Chains A and B, each alone.
Chain A
Amino acid sequence: MAYIKAMAYCLPEGRLTNEDLYLRFGEKAVRSISKMSGITERRIASPGETAADLATRAAQQLLTEQHCDPQSIDLLIFTSQTPDYQIPATACVLHERLGLRLNCACFDLNQGCSAFPYSLSVANGLLETGAANRALVLNADAITQVLYPKDRALVTLHGDAAVATLLDRSAGGGRLHGFHFGTDGTGWKHIVMPVSGARAKRTADTGREIVTDTGSVTTAEHLQMNGPAVFHFSMTTVPEAIQFALSKWNWAVEDCRLVLLHQANKTMVDMIYRALNVPPEKRFYFMENIGNAAGASSPLLLSEALRQGKVKPGDRLVLSGFGNGLSWSVAAIEWS
């Protein structure tokens, strides 16, 4: 199995506070949502600033901190749902920006909030087979740029971020112990940008403001979410998936230093923690002043835990992402 050698993250300069949102949605509504979400400020990309821009900065920081020659990277995976282009893969754009060598595999993975274990497992597979020797995994989303500004449910939750992770096969660091994945495709429509690809084309009508079944004001060209359905999915599926994965690895919550969950919102995260009987000392949060950073959320959480020195050699971590698809993922990581 491969090892996580180091991580670095980039948060955009822009900040959107609860007070900024009072005028848009009303103070009472914002306070009520903030109490539920545990989010008081969101880091948001500037107009024109993309997930790839954030990923570039995270990658450059990581390579500099690790004194890592970009020419030593022979695998780049860019995992995002807000790429720069439909064609080509944004990983190729990043290949140029980062000055990587010609003999370097570059591709995008399209996955939402369950993205991090997916990208780690793909990198692990390519490293394990010897197809690559040193991997740079970039998880980045600028999800706020696909939100309709009047969508109270989503604007109040989301922020933007990028995380860079360096991996290779040499011993030391976060050993990737195992993965578990799941999908319920019957629920794909519960988080969707209806007019965003080949299935439905933009017309004069698709930019028209609409009110969804759950009362959100949005358009067909923006991200839409059925909040109750997604919350229910997360509560019923994620604890069972984590329990299943732990038993598959013969691990238990008690064996883990931290249980790291996608930072969807604090109420949901706490309900999953309670369902798994995770004690307070094994819980970790990083959303209050960041927002839900979509696919970058769970790597951001791990990166911050490392930065704060919460992970020591010998520690076991379990990490889970879940979201659109409907999709969920669990990774087991053992630090050495």
Chain B
Amino acid sequence: MTTIEKLQNVFQDVFDDPSIRLTPEFSPSFYGDWDSLATVRLVLSIESEFGMRFTTDQVAKIKSVRDMLSVLEPLSS
């Protein structure tokens, strides 16, 4: 499973929406329910699912799936 596929599972679970299909461009402007609290829920779920911890600075800069992938992909390579 690729990183983005694994991330997609997290998004589907957090938003309880199996129709979500992630691309790097996926962002709050694409998906209305993705507000700042949802970012927190996503971050905590990703940390649990991927067994890692974001830095607070990395969380501050999350504006899209691309920003998450830039942290997660180097961990899987």
List the interface of chain A (C-beta within 8 A of B): 32, 36, 153, 184, 186-187, 190, 213-215, 226-229, 231-233, 235-236, 267, 326
State in angstroms the CA–CA spacing of A184 and B62 once bound together: 20
List the interface of chain B (C-beta within 8 A of A): 28, 35-37, 39-40, 43-44, 53-54, 56-57, 59-63
Q: A215-B36, A226-B60, A236-B53 are in contact. List 11 more A-B contacts (CB 8 A).
A: A187-B57, A190-B60, A215-B28, A227-B36, A228-B39, A228-B59, A228-B62, A229-B56, A229-B57, A232-B54, A236-B56
Set of chain A residues within 8 Å of B61, measured between Cβ atoms:
213
B4 to A: closest C-beta gap in Å: 20
B74 to A: closest C-beta gap in Å: 19
Do B60 and A229 touch across chains, with their CB atoms under 8 A apart?
yes
Interface of A, secondary structure class, is: helix
Set of chain B residues within 8 Å of A190, measured between Cβ atoms:
56, 60
Set of chain A residues within 8 Å of B37, measured between Cβ atoms:
36, 227, 231, 267
A31 to B: closest C-beta gap in Å: 13
State in angstroms the CA–CA spacing of A239 and B67 once bound together: 27
State in angstroms the CA–CA spacing of A236 and B59 once bound together: 12
Do A326 and B56 touch across chains, with their CB atoms under 8 A apart?
yes
Set of chain A residues within 8 Å of B56, measured between Cβ atoms:
184, 186-187, 190, 229, 232-233, 236, 326
Set of chain A residues within 8 Å of B39, measured between Cβ atoms:
214, 227-228
B73 to A: closest C-beta gap in Å: 20
Which single residue of chain A is at the shortest CB-CB distance from B63?
Answer: A213
State in angstroms the CA–CA spacing of A226 and B43 once bound together: 14
State in angstroms the CA–CA spacing of A236 and B36 once bound together: 17
Do A228 and B57 touch across chains, with their CB atoms under 8 A apart?
no
Do A229 and B63 touch across chains, with their CB atoms under 8 A apart?
no
Interface centre among A213, A232, A235, A326 (most CB of B within 10 A): A232
Q: Given A213-B63, A228-B43, are A153 and B57 also a contact pair (CB < 8 Å)?
A: no
Do B36 and A214 touch across chains, with their CB atoms under 8 A apart?
yes
Which single residue of chain A is at the shortest CB-CB distance from B29?
Answer: A215
Set of chain A residues within 8 Å of B59, measured between Cβ atoms:
228-229, 232
State in angstroms the CA–CA spacing of A229 and B67 once bound together: 14
Contact of A235 among B35, B36, B44, B63 (CB under 8 A): B44
B28 to A: closest C-beta gap in Å: 7
A190 to B: closest C-beta gap in Å: 6
State in angstroms the CA–CA spacing of A187 and B61 once bound together: 12
B43 to A: closest C-beta gap in Å: 6
Contact of B60 among A184, A228, A235, A267 (CB under 8 A): A228
Set of chain B residues within 8 Å of A233, measured between Cβ atoms:
56
